């Protein structure tokens, strides 16, 4: 059975990784608004994912304002895929028959 | 994070189902909310038309052929950069079409092939001394780009 990934398992980190998997990169404030969390909360979870190499951040200036862009790394995409498979296996294993 | 003592066995199937649903919702709602900004396709289409026209002119024996090729290439690069900036500003996100699922990558590859075909056709017409037809082929890049842009966005949304 595929193991759940402890770095992704927290509900907000799973949603963050899943949202990032829909794009190549996303702006910090866009993710913050989509997930409905405070800057500090998102920042903490992003840092956790950066530490394990699942996410990378880049700073950029857009229309004169400094922004942070966040992207899933290849390792992050693979880890998310494994984690989702593990969740599906848990569900399948509980099905009768 | 899961503690060292926790494992897959500690997660109930109901919790796993809820987590999976949340993840799918987060992904599909983000992908579904992405839109092409106003003028995006016109901008990228004009850039591609300039590229096709530049290739055609560059392949001719006209005195300004080489300069036209360089200008066409620069115009295409500038249009692509501006389109990307507008997309990021509108969506707070970027998709390049090559990191997505197979369907959207296939659409992107087909589009590159289409532009190459237009370049070859326009260059061939220029060599055959049919500059008006070559210009029309170059202009065909505008609606072609608009159609492919929409198709590609639809594939991206459907695949997410």
What is the rounded distance in angstroms from the CA atom of residue B69 to the CA atom of residue B71?
5
Task: Tokens 């949340």: give the residue.
Answer: B22
Span B114-133, average pLDDT: 91
Structure tokens at B147: 């159609």
The fraction of chain B above a pLDDT of 70, given in percent, is 88
- Rounded to two decimals, the pTM is 0.83
What is the rounded distance in angstroms from the CA atom of residue A56 to the CA atom of residue A68?
10
Tell me, yes or no, if B13 comes closer than 8 A to chain A by beta carbon: yes
Of A25, A62, A90, the CB nearest to B8: A90
Point out which residues pair with A65 in neighbouring strands: A62
ipTM of the complex in this document: 0.90
Q: Would you call B31 and A23 a contact, using CB atoms and an 8 Å cutoff?
A: yes
- CA distance, residue B76 to nearest chain A CA (Å): 21
* Residues contacting residue B102 through CB under 8 Å, at least 6 positions apart: B159
Q: Which residues of B touch A64 (CB under 8 A)?
A: none
Q: What is the pLDDT of residues B1-20, one digit of tens each?
A: 444 434 555 789 999 999 99
């Amino acid at each position: 059975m595929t193991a759940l990934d402890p770095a992704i398992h927290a509900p907000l980190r799973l949603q963050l990784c899943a949202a990032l998997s829909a794009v190549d990169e996303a702006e910090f404030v866009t993710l913050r608004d989509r997930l409905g969390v405070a800057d500090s909360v998102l920042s903490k979870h992003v840092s956790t994912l950066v530490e394990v190499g699942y996410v990378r951040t880049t700073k950029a200036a857009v229309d004169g304002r400094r922004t942070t862009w966040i992207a899933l790394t290849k390792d992050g995409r693979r880890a998310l895929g494994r984690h989702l498979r593990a969740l599906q296996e848990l569900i399948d294993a509980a099905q009768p028959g | 994070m899961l503690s060292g003592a926790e494992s897959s066995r500690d997660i109930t199937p109901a919790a796993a189902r809820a987590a999976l649903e949340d993840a799918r919702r987060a992904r599909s709602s983000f992908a579904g909310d992405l839109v092409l900004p106003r003028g995006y396709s016109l901008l990228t289409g004009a850039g591609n038309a300039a590229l096709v026209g530049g290739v055609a002119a560059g392949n001719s024996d006209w005195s300004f052929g080489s300069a036209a090729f360089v200008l066409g290439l620069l115009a295409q690069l500038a249009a692509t950069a501006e389109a990307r900036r507008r997309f990021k500003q509108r969506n707070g996100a970027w998709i390049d079409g090559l990191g997505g699922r197979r369907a959207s990558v296939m659409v992107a590859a087909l589009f590159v092939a289409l532009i190459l075909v237009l370049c070859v056709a326009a260059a061939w017409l220029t060599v055959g001394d049919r500059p008006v037809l070559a210009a029309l082929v170059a202009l065909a890049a505008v609606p072609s780009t608009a159609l492919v842009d929409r198709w590609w966005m639809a594939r991206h949304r459907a695949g997410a």
